[in-house]
Structure 1
């Protein structure tokens, strides 16, 4: 059995599309919303899956163990574990119950039987005794495509050089999270958040109603660390999630003053959110927030504060 190197996954930097004249220098891949996995295939018929933090998560995904029978090792691959919905789109809410089951193989097997995962492979860092991290992206992608044939629970989707704008528009129309741009001449930088990989998320915006807030952690009497937001549906305020990033200190200060004025003892949401330390306010303030996608329960994924909307009444907000 080969001794495989421990290689931390390379990370992408948030950014935007390159100028059109530079597009031919970038490969484009769809961005999948799941759990990052480094896949170790020693070549003895076994597989080891490690999380981004390096934890062994193999037992959580028994349906991926057959990969070792289909891919000749020794190899170390990079990928993302997802659960696909009926339209072939990643559904993070369906993946979440699997992510804590590395120590519960029986429960993991039950989940695998009725809601199996899919492994999206997009890089190879080690192959046949050779470390490929110093080789260019194009060479690594070619090696990956030669190595991995599509299987029942895994695939290596194509990378499309020079088509960033078309890929952006297509993935947005398909309801995917975004795209990742990778320089064709870039090396693999283990554990580094690199500018050679650029993630471009499809950010949507929505007007929401503020129904509560929580203080900055460790400062019970301090300014808001996050606001709890919702939308009026069916005569009640439905909870959409919490928003705690994207504002300036001045915006936070102004918001703290407005929240203090609107303070209320009763929770305004139809179903009280299970949020420790929540403070409630009259649902009068409308805000615009950005988000990438929604969970199956309708919650906002990756919400980011944009601005207050004093020009809107609470009834005007919502999806």
Structure 2
């Protein structure tokens, strides 16, 4: 049985805060996963794609009671113990991958056939604690009351993705993006050159001046697109079927979530032009 999960919104200005009416959790860098045991254990992505057959080791070893549905994140830990998104995607695409997947549960939607979504989050957390025993295949996410600012600073210093702040009395809003759950992402900032643009769909090619760093698609407002396009016409060096390449003159500031092993920026977001 699939239940469409409750989704996050960004905290105001992507800033953490301290409020004892909220719980604070680590934001895990993986794939959202619904684990359901109604007739048998089944695994679903947030888009209702059943992936039970992809992870037989989890199905065989996640011991939750019949009539129970959990919400959480599917992760692979890297050699440093931190969630490794690239390794997770490699394991997601192939059962032959040697990466070990693990389910981290942070909420319980149904427990022993009892609907839990209308109960306060803090009550659901108590039920989650009794729903299964932690193992190498499944564990429960830890949380704090309040202390969002200090926890975020610690998370960022460790190079982790960010935190989630959730109202302790909030209900589980099925299939909704809710301001009751707020994410704060530990972005890194960088200055880069814009050295090209796509001809069809929007995207600016980024570079450090020596090599490409990926394409930014997010965060660019319409007036910035128009202003950039006018200037770019004076900086063309060559064209291909899909791309126009530019002299490395125009710089911008972007925020991003680290680097792929290829050296490309992960999820770059445009912040501003640098004049």
TM-score by shorter chain over 0.5 = yes
SS where residue 125 of structure 1 aligns? strand
Q: Which has the higher strand share?
A: 2
Whether contact under 8 Å (1:92, 1:295) holds in the other structure is: no
Structure 1 residue 262 corresponds to structure 2 residue 235? yes
Ranges of 4+ aligned residues in structure 1 off by more than 3 Å = 16-20
Residue 188 of structure 1 is matched in structure 2 by 172
SS where residue 65 of structure 1 aligns? helix
Larger Rg: 1
CA distance change for structure 1 residues 186 and 34 in 2, over 3 Å: closer, same or farther?
same
Comparing 118-127 with 149-158, which one deviates more in the overlay? 149-158
Structure 1 residue 214 corresponds to structure 2 residue 198? yes
Residue 249 of structure 1 is matched in structure 2 by 222
Residue 231 of structure 1 is matched in structure 2 by 208
Partners of 1:156 and 1:295 lie apart in 2 by 28
TM-score of the superposed pair, with normalisation by structure 2 = 0.93
Partners of 2:200 and 2:238 lie apart in 1 by 20
How far residue 28 of structure 1 moved from its aligned partner, in angstroms, is: 0.6
SS where residue 69 of structure 2 aligns? strand
Which whole-Å deviations, capped at 9, do the CAs of 1:223-277 have from their partners, x for residues lacking one? xx21011214xxxx2221111221222211111012111111179xxxxxxxx82
**Out of 75, 80, 85, which is 1:82 matched to?**
75
Residue 92 of structure 1 is matched in structure 2 by 85
RMSD of equivalent CA atoms:
1.8
How far residue 63 of structure 1 moved from its aligned partner, in angstroms, is: 2.3
**Out of 7, 10, 16, which is 1:11 matched to?**
7
The answer for unaligned runs of 5 or more in structure 2 is none
Whether contact under 8 Å (2:17, 2:149) holds in the other structure is: no
Whether contact under 8 Å (1:63, 1:116) holds in the other structure is: no
SS where residue 5 of structure 2 aligns? coil
Partners of 2:106 and 2:78 lie apart in 1 by 20
Partners of 2:193 and 2:80 lie apart in 1 by 31
SS where residue 143 of structure 2 aligns? coil
Residue 49 of structure 1 is matched in structure 2 by 43
Partners of 2:195 and 2:106 lie apart in 1 by 42
Partners of 2:56 and 2:212 lie apart in 1 by 35
SS where residue 211 of structure 2 aligns? strand
TM-score of the superposed pair, with normalisation by structure 1 = 0.81
The answer for unaligned runs of 5 or more in structure 1 is 102-106, 218-224, 268-275, 311-319
Partners of 2:102 and 2:233 lie apart in 1 by 47
Partners of 2:254 and 2:115 lie apart in 1 by 44
Q: What is the number of equivalent residue pairs in this alignment? A: 273
Whether contact under 8 Å (1:168, 1:179) holds in the other structure is: yes
Whether contact under 8 Å (1:177, 1:293) holds in the other structure is: no
**Out of 240, 249, 265, which is 1:300 matched to?**
265
CA distance change for structure 1 residues 95 and 19 in 2, over 3 Å: closer, same or farther?
closer
